[in-house]
Structure 1
Amino acid sequence: MVKASVIGCGGMGTIHAERYASMPDVELVGVCDVNERSASVLGKLTGAGFYTDVQQMFDSEKPDVVSITVPTFLHLPIVKLAADNGVHVICEKPLALSAVEAEEAIQYCEQRGVRLFVGHVVRFFPSYRQLTESATRFGGVRGGVYHAKRAGAHPGQVQPWFKDPNKSGGVILDLMIHDIDYILGAFGEVSEVYAFNHLSEELDYASATFRFRNGTIAQLEAFWGYPGPFHTSFEYAGADGIVRGDSSDAESLRVLRSQSGNSADGFVETPQSVLLKDPYYEEIAHFLECFASGKEPIVSALDALEAIRWAEAALESARTGLPVNHARRETRP
């Protein structure tokens, strides 16, 4: 039986706690938040002990693993505290506010012999898994063109720390990083990024174009302050077909396959449905399996570090107005 715990009892902490509580062979032993009411509510909801002091929870419950779901600027010190107590870590994305901090977190956990997993949950969505398979078929070694958008209300209206880039990293590091991690896993090595970022009190919008060494071009949009419900969409176009997905559609994935020969019919649309599995449950269950078996996860801490590096490159490009070559950290006119 794995003893699990959660630090941070907001929306994401509730997701983690509820998933642990529903898993066989897992016991949710404790939840912790500096806000006593939040900790109490989640503790009573899940049947776990609730705390306002992390060290007290570690001392009392002695968990095997902890999910860290606090604001980003608090990730590093709490990761280090968990490692000092020999507790394996599942940290929500982004791992840290900078690549320097992320490297410190990885090294700290390695030195103390604890596993560090990072919650880039997009890798566990069935539609994105199918997208990766289709992109391999349609683009192959020639590459393709990819566009993705992720937009919703500004979280800073609810949690003010999101509006402080020194605490959240802004829309690129906090929201677009979902898609940055995905394209790094799907399309390979990036050669360059060019980005734009518009920031005001009401909104934070960013657009970034990534060039991959296999020829793929990926254009990402992220938008806080969108006047409508949160939604995501993507489209991948290769020589042999197009793959589309939109969270607003009843169908989560549509594949348009190029017909062989010289057919005048163009594309044949083939709707594809997916199983309604919870990606957060799958993600946590996968990390727990890796913890138990010692195998490497689908998305590693080093993958999370690489996503932060490219997010920083996009931020640099947005600041300078120039493309950024990540490998050499140089800008070119």
Structure 2
Amino acid sequence: MVNIALIGAGKMGLSHLSILGAHPDVKITGVCDTSKLVTDVLTRYSGFDCFSDYKKMISKTKPDAVFVAVPTKFHAPIIKDLLEQGIHVFAEKPFVLNAKEGLPLLELVKQKGLINQVGYHNKFVGTFQEVKKLILDKAIGEVYHFQAEAYGPVVIKKKQESWRSVASEGGGCLMDYTSHVVDLLNHLISPVEEVFSSLVKPVFSNQVDDAVYALLKLENKVTGVLSVNWSDDTYRKMSTSITILGTEGKIICDSSELKVYFKADTNRAGYSKGWTIKNVTDLTEEVDFYLRGEEYSAQVDHFVKCVEGKAENNINTFAMAFKTDQAIEMIREKSAV
């Protein structure tokens, strides 16, 4: 049994808490949030020990691991404190507010030999997992271009301010939406090496960006386009997709459907010349508990298994998330030129 505590019971924190609470190998030792309304409700209806001060919670409950789901500006000091105490950490994305904060954490987690993971759930989506296999096998030949996209209806009118609308706290489309797309791109093809040009622009927000567009070069020298907009109300919810062009074919993929085009006959099982379409339900492994999507339970289960020593800590590590933070900073810096 792995003893796990949670810091930050907002939207994602409560999502993680629900999944952890249903996990057969997890005991929730404590929940921390600064909102008395939240902790009062949890104390009354969940039976969890709730705290307003995470340090008191850690001291009293002594968890093996902690989920950190607070605004991004608080990530670095909290994660550092937990690592110094020898506690395994799962942090919500993005990893830290700026890449400079991440370097000492990478050194510390390596020194301590602790399990570390960041909440980029797309790597646990069946369609994207299949894309990774196709790319590794060079199934569509040499990749020469990509288009990575995400759209959704987060900010579609002038609205009241929250921490997500304040850049210094980790808000904005670049930090919130674009980080998901960049991290997926880093994973599927290669990490971002250079930003040729970028536009980081507000649409309805006063203090942060609502749309991000960029021309990128990856470490393997493949170039392509990034297009992200969270002020697009033609979408019911966030939609992340990637199009990859290769010398022998083409891939178009989102979280629900994978389309692969082969120019010639292929002996790859389940595929044929021309277009093959696969649904995420055909590519996704079952999970014990379903909430919002199998990928959310799968990422939590992976972290738990890593802590138990049953899985290798090689998905969404701090080091991988740090590369995403670096790319985000390059996009921001290039837009200011």
TM-score per shorter chain, which class? 0.7 to 0.9
- Equivalent position of 1:323 in the other structure: none
The answer for the alignment partner of 1:162 in structure 2 is: 164
Residue 158 of structure 1 and its aligned partner are, at CA, apart by 7.0
Which residue in the other structure is 2:303 paired with?
287
Match of 1:53 in 2: 53
SS in 1 for 2:97: coil
Trace 1:207-286 onto structure 2 (pairs within 5 A). Answer: 207-227=213-233, 228-230=235-237, 231-247=239-255, 252-260=257-265, 267-272=274-279, 273-275=282-284, 278-286=294-302
- Are 1:150 and 2:150 counterparts? yes
Q: 2-side partners of 1:291 and 1:245: how far apart? A: 32
Q: Output the CA distance in 1 between the equivalents of 2:131 and 2:160.
A: 33
AA paired with 2:201? H
Of all paired residues, the percent bearing the same amino acid is: 25
- AA paired with 2:283? V
* 1:297 corresponds to: 314
Within-5 A mapping of 1:58-207: 58-111=58-111, 114-136=114-136, 137-140=138-141, 142-154=142-154, 157=159, 160-168=162-170, 170-193=172-195, 194-202=197-205, 204-207=210-213
Partner of 1:314: 331
- Which amino acid is the alignment partner of residue 55 of structure 1? K
C-alpha separation in 2, matches of 1:97 and 1:301: 13
Q: CA deviation at 1:108?
A: 3.7
Q: Give the aligned residue type for 1:176.
A: T
Give the Å deviation of 1:46.
Answer: 4.4
Q: Which moved more, 1:170-179 or 1:14-23?
A: 170-179
Paired residue type of 1:233:
S
Is the contact between residue 5 and residue 63 of structure 1 (CA under 8 Å) also seen in structure 2?
yes
| Count of residues in correspondence between the two structures | 313
Tell me whether 1:13 sits opposite 2:2 in the alignment. Answer: no
Q: Distance in 2 between matches of 1:188 and 1:220?
A: 14
1:40 maps to 40
Distance 1:145 1:259, change over 3 A: same
SS class of match (1:31): strand
CA shift in 2, pair 1:191/1:85, >3 Å = closer
1:43 CA displacement: 4.8
Q: Secondary structure at the match of 2:283?
A: coil
Shift of 1:112: 5.1
Report the alpha carbon displacement of residue 110 of structure 1 after superposing the two structures with TM.
4.2
Task: Give, in whole Å, the separation in 1 of the partners of 2:47 and 2:247.
Answer: 53
Letter in 1 for 2:253: G
Cα RMSD, aligned residues only:
2.6
Say if 2:117 and 2:315, in contact at 8 Å, map to a contact too. Answer: no
1:167: how far off? 1.2
Structure ranking higher on relative contact order (CA contacts 8 Å, 6+ apart): 2
For 2:85 and 2:46, the matched residues in 1 are separated by 24
- Contact 2:193–2:327 at 8 Å: present in 1 too? no
Name the CA distance, whole Å, in 2 between partners of 1:2 and 1:18. 16
User: For the residues of structure 2 that align with 1:198 and 1:257, how far apart are their CA atoms?
Assistant: 37
The one-letter code of the counterpart of 2:321 is A
* Distance of 2:222 and 2:98 partners within structure 1: 26
Assess, with a 3 A threshold, how the Cα gap between structure 1 residues 283 and 157 changes in structure 2: closer, same or farther: farther
2:257 touches 2:277 (CA, 8 Å); kept in 1? Answer: no
Counterpart amino acid of residue 199 in structure 2 = F
Q: Structure 2 vs 1, CA of residues 87 and 40 (structure 1 numbering), >3 Å: closer, same or farther?
A: farther
SS in structure 2 of the partner of residue 144 of structure 1: strand
